[in-house]
């Protein structure tokens, strides 16, 4: 563990003070003053929000469907299907989208055949491509978190609510949402922090056209060799994930107190 | 009834976003021409032959397997005693150990990779392969600890106490009683850590060096220069391999162990 924490502390120290250059705190200001890095940071956060939102929107009913399956073998098959993408080589998984979104991929061939367009549309290396890739990557995490939350929900509570005349809408907002809030917070935290730190998906589907925090970090570190800036980005990335984690813990403790 | 139809519909949408591309890349890897295309215009196995025969992929596959095996082994070697100590004894600094042993899963891979690179490669203490191994072990260790801890918690202390009251010393009871009982947890920890290490990108990205690259890194570099169905064929092989591992793991341990 010394091998892990020591380098980390050394890196944090270095992003603030360097023996040869003195204090370098101004590089943090530079990160937010430069348009490129600011755009990339905002883009990463927005991407995180939108992927989390859509994952929750699709994942919640999907998890309800998984939980409602009574047949044990069908249910374990579904769980296997959910776990399987998480275990797959990330480059292989992400590259699969090239066959869907590429110039001669599924969507372009479909559009051409249906005469919606005369020439192939550029779908790869767009924000949409990164979005769908991240959604594929993190949907399983969301569904799995929500499934375990829904499983812990006592079966007779929704039944009781319904027998007392609760409408479907009320049942959802008054029973399901509050009782599974912890699972929702966990799922959203996992997906959001995953989105702002993932490397393979933005690298393979966004390239240098759609830079994200992680791809910018790598560019600084290995192409422009601006080590201080790379370190600054790494620290900002780390602090952002810590902030999200702290925030979500605060939210779930408030939920418990209620 | 319409309500449950909506639920099933969203499950289908979720599964097709997650798994649909896998099916499409599977068919695209049989494309005879040299562009990545779906639907394919014919059928050939030549991309599979090509990709299996390429020495850069063979070399990096062997490196990835070596690192994944060693990192899983090391993480169990370090993780099982740590998990045992935290589950059985109360001591000063226990909270700290718990925090430290879970920290690699809180620190983003890119951040860890950069930190390790600056520390090891620039100081040049170890060879590239050793540095990769250290980085991977640090990444997978928390998973090894968590997995074995879960099965240790399920093993009542009274079992050990019984063994010791019958004359076994603590070391003997650990090896003869505790270890066999947490076998399932250890196997699932091994499979889990192996897969995580084998698929790891961000740390390897920074720690790989000239001629010493793990498979995912070589794939990403190759994709930058060549755009033909060979990566599709390789992806199909890797996806198929994962499917086999997941199915075996499920048969052996039950999928609940993984989630």
3-class state of residue A17 by DSSP: strand
pLDDT at A254 over 80: no
- Pick from B220, B222, B217: which is nearest to B200 by CA? B217
Residues of B in contact with A91 (CB under 8 A): 201, 216, 219-220, 223, 235
Beta bridge partners of B212: B209
Say if the Cβ atoms of A83 and B245 lie within 8 Å. no
Residue A208 pLDDT > 60, yes or no?
yes
Give the confidence band of A218 by pLDDT, cuts at 50, 70, 90: very high
Tokens in use for B199?
Answer: 């698929």
Q: According to the model, what pLDDT value does residue A129 have?
A: 95
Given this model, what pLDDT does residue A255 score? 61
H helix or E strand, kind and range, residue B210: none
- pTM comes to 0.90
Q: Which of B63, B129, B34, B113 is nearest to A214 (CA)?
A: B113
What pLDDT, in 10s, does the model give residues A156-170? 888 788 788 778 788
Contact A232, B114 (CB under 8 A): no
Question: Can you give the pLDDT at residue B183?
Answer: 86
Using the beta-carbon criterion (under 8 Å), do A1 and B234 form an inter-chain contact? no
- Interchain contact, B6 vs A80, CB within 8 Å: no
Q: What is the mean pLDDT of residues B167-176?
A: 83
d(CA A83, CA A137) in angstroms, rounded, equals: 11
Euclidean distance between CA atoms B44 and B47, whole angstroms: 7
**Over the stretch B98-128, which tens digit does the pLDDT of each residue have?**
776 666 667 888 998 898 888 876 677 788 8
Q: How far is B213 from chain A (nearest CA, A)?
A: 14
Q: How far apart are CA A186 and CA A199, in angstroms?
A: 21
Interface test with A, best of B7, B18, B202 (most A CBs within 10 A): B18
**C-beta contacts of B171-179 below 8 A and 24+ residues apart:** B174/B84, B178/B84, B178/B152, B179/B80
DSSP states along B35-101: S--SS-SS---HHHHHHHH-HHHHHHHHHHHHHHHHHHHHHHHHHHHHHHHHHH---TTHHHHHHHH
* pLDDT higher than threshold 50 for residue B29: yes
What percentage of residues in chain A have a pLDDT greater than 70? 96
pLDDT of residue A93: 94
**Residue B259: per-residue pLDDT:** 44
Sequence-ordered list of residues with C-beta below 8 angstroms from that of A155, at least 6 positions apart, any chain: none
The secondary structure element, H or E, covering residue A225 is none
Write the pLDDT tens digit of every residue in A29-50.
888 888 889 999 999 999 999 9
Least confident stretch, A13-27, A73-87, A164-178: A13-27
Residues above pLDDT 70, as percent of chain B: 94
A126: CB partners within 8 A, 6+ apart: A206, A209, A210
Q: Tell me, what's the pLDDT at B1?
A: 47
Kindly state the tokens that stand for B80.
């099982």
- What pLDDT does residue B256 have? 53
């Amino acid at each position: 563990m010394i091998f892990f924490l020591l380098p980390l502390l050394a890196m944090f120290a270095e992003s603030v003070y360097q023996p040869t250059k003195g204090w370098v705190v101004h590089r943090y200001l530079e990160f937010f003053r430069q348009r490129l890095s600011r755009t990339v940071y905002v883009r990463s956060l927005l991407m995180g929000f939108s992927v989390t939102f859509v994952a929750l929107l699709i994942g919640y009913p999907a998890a309800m469907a998984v939980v409602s399956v009574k047949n044990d073998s069908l249910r374990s098959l579904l769980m296997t299907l959910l776990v399987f993408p998480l275990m797959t080589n990330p480059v292989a998984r992400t590259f699969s989208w090239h066959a869907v979104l590429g110039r001669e991929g599924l969507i372009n061939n479909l559009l051409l055949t249906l005469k919606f367009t005369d020439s192939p549309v550029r779908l790869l290396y767009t924000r949409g491509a990164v979005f769908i890739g991240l959604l594929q990557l993190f949907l399983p995490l969301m569904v799995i978190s929500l499934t375990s939350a829904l499983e812990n929900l006592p079966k007779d509570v929704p039944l009781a609510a319904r027998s007392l005349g609760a409408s479907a809408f009320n049942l959802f907002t008054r029973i399901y949402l509050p009782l599974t809030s912890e699972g929702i917070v966990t799922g959203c935290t996992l997906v959001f922090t995953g989105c702002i730190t993932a490397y393979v998906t933005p690298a393979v589907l966004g390239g240098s056209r759609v830079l994200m925090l992680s791809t910018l970090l790598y560019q600084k570190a290995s192409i422009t060799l601006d080590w201080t800036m790379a370190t600054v980005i790494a620290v900002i990335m780390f602090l952002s994930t810590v902030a999200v984690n702290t925030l979500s813990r605060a939210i779930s403790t408030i939920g418990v107190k209620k | 009834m319409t309500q449950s139809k909506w639920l099933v519909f969203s499950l289908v949408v979720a599964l097709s976003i997650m798994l649909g591309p896998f099916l499409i890349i599977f068919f695209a890897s049989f494309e005879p021409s040299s562009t990545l295309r779906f639907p394919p215009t014919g059928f050939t196995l030549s991309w599979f032959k090509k990709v299996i025969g390429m020495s850069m992929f063979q070399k990096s596959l062997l490196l990835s397997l070596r690192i994944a095996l060693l990192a899983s082994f090391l993480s169990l070697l370090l993780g099982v005693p740590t998990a045992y100590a935290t589950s059985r004894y109360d001591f000063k600094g226990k909270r700290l150990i718990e925090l430290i042993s879970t920290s690699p899963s809180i620190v983003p891979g890119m951040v860890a990779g950069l930190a390790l690179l600056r520390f090891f490669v620039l100081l040049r203490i170890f060879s590239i392969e050793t540095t990769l191994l250290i980085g991977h072990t640090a990444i997978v260790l928390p998973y090894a600890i968590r997995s074995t801890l879960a099965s240790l918690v399920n093993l009542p202390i009274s079992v050990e106490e019984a063994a010791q009251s019958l004359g076994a010393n603590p070391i003997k009871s650990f090896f003869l009683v505790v270890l066999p009982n947490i076998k399932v947890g250890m196997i699932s920890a091994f499979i889990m850590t192996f897969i995580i290490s084998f698929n790891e990108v961000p740390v390897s990205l920074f720690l790989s060096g000239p001629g010493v690259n793990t498979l995912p890194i070589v794939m990403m570099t190759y994709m930058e220069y060549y755009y033909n169905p060979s990566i599709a064929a390789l992806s199909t092989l890797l996806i198929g391999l994962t499917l086999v591992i997941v199915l075996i793991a499920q048969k052996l341990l039950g999928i609940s162990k993984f989630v």
